[in-house]
Amino acid sequence: MRFWIKALNDGIVKAAPLPPDMWGNWNGAMPARSWIEYRWPAPVTLDGSRIWFFADQPAGSGVGVAPPKSWHIEYWNGAAKRWQPVDRPSGYGTEPGRYQDTRFTPVTTRCLRAVFDASQANGTNAAVAVQEWEALAPTVGGRAANGPVGDVAPCR
């Protein structure tokens, strides 16, 4: 089964999506933790994120595709050369079928990732699936102060 990272920012949310209309980690292995990442060619300033989870199983399930048990946003701290959680997030909802919004202390970075802890039951992990993921920027003069997302080098 192929899932596309490109589907995360195409602006399309479907009631019954199928690959490649979303990103997911359903592949038989079902890891306990997974993540998705955006990269920009130059640093951008961000202060929020919105994510739309897809699920075909309820929260707390260890099979199929379920909302994550938890998730959080991390940014690449270029000076420290490491990933770190954003400061003061407003919350991390997991309900599927609608946007889950979080705001945080602004960060200037070249890379942002959403990290998911899988829903678990009876020693197995459910898969995680995301239809849309938006990185939000503060506005400057009424315009977003961010750049395009592209196929650029990883943050290391």
CATH at residue 74: 2.60.120.260
Instruction: Examine the pLDDT at 141 and tell me if it is beyond 90.
Output: no
Q: Is 152 among the domain residues?
A: no
What mean pLDDT is predicted for residues 48-64?
A: 95
Domain boundaries, position 42: 5-144
Instruction: Supply the pTM of this predicted model.
Output: 0.88
Task: Please state, in angstroms and rounded to a whole number, the distance separating the CA atoms of residues 119 and 13.
Answer: 22
Quote the pLDDT of residue 99. Answer: 96
Among 20-24, 87-91, 138-142, the minimum mean pLDDT is found in: 138-142
Beta-sheet pairing, 124-125 with 143-144 = unpaired
Residue 27 pLDDT class (50, 70, 90 cuts): confident
Q: Is 11 among the domain residues?
A: yes
Quote the pLDDT of residue 2. Answer: 52
When comparing pLDDT for 152 and 144, which is higher?
A: 152
Number of domains in the chain: 1
pLDDT digits (tens, 9 = 90+) for 91-120: 999 999 999 999 999 999 999 999 999 999
Quote the pLDDT of residue 29. Answer: 78
Q: Is 156 among the domain residues?
A: no
Which residue, 142, 156, 146, 152, is CA-closest to 48?
A: 146
Instruction: Examine the pLDDT at 31 and tell me if it is beyond 70.
Output: yes
Q: Is 155 among the domain residues?
A: no
Q: Is 46 among the domain residues?
A: yes
Q: Is 59 among the domain residues?
A: yes
Q: Is 105 among the domain residues?
A: yes
Q: Is 31 among the domain residues?
A: yes
